[in-house]
Structure 1
Amino acid sequence: MKEKMMKEFKTFSQEETIEIGKALGRLLNTGDIVCINGDLGTGKTVFTNGIAKSLGIKEHITSPTFTIVNEYSGRVPFYHFDVYRISDSEEMFEIGFEEYLYGEGIVVIEWADIIKDILPEEVIQVTIKKNLDLGIDARIIEIVFNGSKYRDYKSRLVVGDK
C-alpha cells in the first residue's frame, strides 16, 4: 500500500501563502517533485515563489504559461513548470520532461493534474483552494506527501522556522 501523509494550512494573505511555500521549500532535495493544483487565481505561483525563496532564488518567479518551463539557479537547480496550456501529456516528452524529473534539480509543476498520467507515484501534492467563508484572501492549502521517499517530510514541515 502506498504511503500518504497529509498536512493542511489556512492562509489569509499572499505573504502567509509564501511562508507555507518557504516552509516546504526548506525540506526539498534534489529529485523532489511538487505538484500544485488549484483553480485560476488561487495562489499556485505565489506558493511557488515561497519555495523558490527558500532555495536562495532571488528572482521573482512568474508562471511559465507560454514556455511551459522556467529554469532557475539556487542551492539546487529549480525547474518550474506550468502545464495549463498543454493539450496532451505526450507534449511533455518533446521538451525532455523526463530529464527534468530524474535530473539534479527540484521540479514544481503547476496544474499537475493535467499530466498526472505521466508523473511518478512518489510526489508531493499541493492543492490550494479559496475559502471565501474565511475571508477574501483566505486559502486552504493541503499538502500530501505520497510515498516512502517523503516519509519524514510531514513531521519536519514547520511554518515560521528559519
Structure 2
Amino acid sequence: MEEKIFLLYTDNPAQTKRLGAFLGEAGRSGIVVCLEGELGAGKTTLTQGMAAFLHCNSASSPTFNLMNVYEGDVSIYHFDLYRLNSEDDLYEIGFYEYVQENGEIIIIEWPDRFSDALPEDNLYIRMCEQKDGRRKITVTLNGMKYQKQYEELKYLCQSLR
C-alpha cells in the first residue's frame, strides 16, 4: 500500500487557523486527528480554526482538563495526553469509548505518548515551528477509513502553498 503523506507550511497563525478550517470542512462527517508537536507548535491554533469553522464554542488547550468538548455543527472531542502517566489513565477518562464513536471529530494532542493506544485509522499531523517562525506541517493518512477526508484536505490545502 502506498503511503499517503503531504507536506505544507503555514506562515502565520491566521494560515494555521485556515488549515484548521480546511480540516473541519474535510472532517465534518467524522474523523480522528492526531496532533503532534512541541509546546507552541500551533496545535491549539489549528484546533481553534477547526472549531470556528464548525460553529463550535471557543476552543482552548485541554491540558488541565485532559479533554474538552466543543459543541457546534459537529461535536469535537479534544484530548490532551501530555499529563497522563499510563494507559490506565486513558481508561479513566473514557478515551477508548470516545475514539470508537462515529460521526464526531476526535482530536488527540500528544499522541506519541500512547502510540499503541491510538485508533488504527487516523489523520496524523506533525507540526514543527521553524527558525523563521513558519510551521512545517506533515499530514499522514493511517489506515483507509479517512481516505476521502485526506484527499479533500490535500485538495483544500493547495491554496496554502
Displacement after TM superposition at 1:54 (Å):
2.0
Q: Structure 2 counterpart of 1:18, which letter?
A: K
From 75, 78, 88, the counterpart of 1:77: 75
- Runs of 5+ consecutive residues of structure 2 not aligned to the other structure: none
Output the CA distance in 2 between the equivalents of 1:60 and 1:30: 20
From 82, 87, 96, the counterpart of 1:98: 96
Q: Counterpart of 2:39?
A: 40
Q: Is the contact between residue 6 and residue 144 of structure 1 (CA under 8 Å) also seen in structure 2? A: yes
Q: Show CA shifts across 1:93-147 (max 9, x none).
A: 1111122112252110111111211111111100000111xx2x21111111112
TM-score (norm 2): 0.89
Q: Which runs of 4+ in 1 moved over 2 A?
A: 152-155
Bigger mean CA deviation after superposition, 64-73 or 147-156: 147-156
The residue correspondences of 1:22-61 to structure 2 (distance < 5 A) are 22-57=21-56, 59-61=57-59
Q: Is the contact between residue 80 and residue 110 of structure 2 (CA under 8 Å) also seen in structure 1? A: yes
Output the CA distance in 2 between the equivalents of 1:29 and 1:98: 21
Whether 1:8 and 2:12 are equivalent positions in the alignment is no
Q: Counterpart of 2:66?
A: 68
- Runs of 5+ consecutive residues of structure 1 not aligned to the other structure: none
Q: Is the contact between residue 123 and residue 150 of structure 2 (CA under 8 Å) also seen in structure 1? A: no
Whose helix fraction is larger, Structure 1's or Structure 2's?
2
Q: Show CA shifts across 1:13-72 (max 9, x none).
A: 100111111111111145411000011111111111111122221x32111111100111
Q: Counterpart of 2:124?
A: 125
Q: CA RMSD in A?
A: 1.8
Q: 1:141 to 1:4 in 2, by over 3 A?
A: same
